[in-house]
Amino acid sequence: MEPIDIEKKIQFNKDHFIPNILYASPKVKIPLICMEPGQEIPPHGGHSIGIFYVIEGKGIFTLNDQKIDMKKNMIFVAPEGASRGMKCVERMVVLAISLG
């Protein structure tokens, strides 16, 4: 597999959030999440472990009932079965990895 240049994959949609799937296999999924302010992924149950690395921007990460500020260079881990979601506050790029 060729390396992925994340900068070339960053795409924003002003109307609604659309993930850019960089890689997918039966056990691993890697979406690039590019969000405009106000866009969100509502909290939802996770059937896998989710790892989220904030490349740029700011937002609010929801893990179960906890709300946590997101900012550049932070990593969030959502254990299997935990509810997770995010809301963009400042144009945001997040690399997500779903394992399991």
Q: CATH homologous superfamily for 19-99? A: Jelly Rolls (2.60.120.10)
**How distant, in Å, are the alpha carbons of 9, 79, 82 from that of 92?**
14, 22, 22
Whose CA is closest to 70, among 44, 35, 45? 35
pLDDT recorded at residue 100: 84
pLDDT recorded at residue 15: 87
pLDDT recorded at residue 53: 98
pLDDT recorded at residue 35: 97
Tell me how far apart the alpha carbons of residues 71 and 93 are, in angstroms, rounded to a whole number: 10
pLDDT recorded at residue 3: 94
| 70 phi, psi to nearest 5 deg | -105, 140
Taking the chain (100 residues) in consecutive chunks of 10 residues, what is each chunk's mean pLDDT?
A: 92 90 95 97 90 98 96 96 96 96
pLDDT recorded at residue 1: 76
Tell me how far apart the alpha carbons of residues 51 and 30 are, in angstroms, rounded to a whole number: 10
Give the predicted TM-score (pTM) of the model.
0.93
Residue 99 carries which DSSP code? E
pLDDT recorded at residue 57: 98
Domain spans in the chain, listed from the N-terminal domain onward: 19-99
Tell me how far apart the alpha carbons of residues 37 and 91 are, in angstroms, rounded to a whole number: 6
